[in-house]
Amino acid sequence: MANETLIALVTGANKGIGLEIARQLARAGVLVLIGSRDVERGSAAAALLSSEGGRAKFIRLDLNDHSSIEAAAETIRTEHNRLDILVNNAGIVDAEDGPPSSGSPEAARRIIDTNFIGTLAVTQAMLPLLRQAPTARIVNLSSSLGSLTVNGDPNSPYYSARLIGYNASKAAVNMLTVQLAAELRGTSIAVNSVSPGYVKTDLTGHTGFMTAEEGARLPVKYALLGEDAVSGQFVEPGGTTPW
């Protein structure tokens, strides 16, 4: 996949791993659209990457505001008429989330509305633009916590991480990957779920053991896969993740 003129949209790219994914794509010569619901932070992130020599533009996009999603798609259509890479990075956690016996159903709804429904809405809005690209890549940021196998394995280090809303949201994102990859089989669009690892960001309360730079490497790798790209995979830094 030649990257001289590639156009990428990264959602939630104003900070954390999203910003680092955008930075690494920009360093690879990609024009990066910084998707952010916050105008000030998104504009600042785009300016930062531009000051570092990359090509970056801010585009307002709120996963909970479908009109902003449609407006973003229309802006990309008007200015570029295609999209080569979509990185569905934006996501939330909620302090009221917890085990199935006590986690707040309202918190679970908020998380799923953003992490899954919002991601689905963005993907659907951008698909016509991705179809206009010679080859296109969709990277869905997932988590090992979205693996049913991992959640059911007492020997897994993640076994005790019972966050019904967050874990379910990432399992749903994985279902999106599986079904969309099957639907797009035979096209030039590859879609994969990528778990970046346990990264030190606001989302994890900075308790991870990987830096944002380290965590961004695998999503960027899958965003830049060549013409022989795999599709329908669930991967993490250590290799393939069981669904």
Do residues 117 and 170 touch, judged by C-beta distance below 8 A? no
What single DSSP character describes residue 204?
G
For 56-74, the DSSP string reads EEEEE--TT-HHHHHHHHH
CA 78-84-90 angle, 5° bins: 90
Query: Which is catalytic among the residues 158, 159, 166, 198?
Result: 166
Nearest partner of 84 among 240, 183, 235, 226, judged by Cα: 226
Which residue bears the tokens 């801010």? 58
Question: Residue 56 pairs with which residues in a beta bridge?
Answer: 32
Is 159 an active-site residue?
no
Which residue bears the tokens 């060549």? 226
Alpha-carbon Rg for the chain in angstroms? 17
Which are the catalytic amino acids?
A: 166
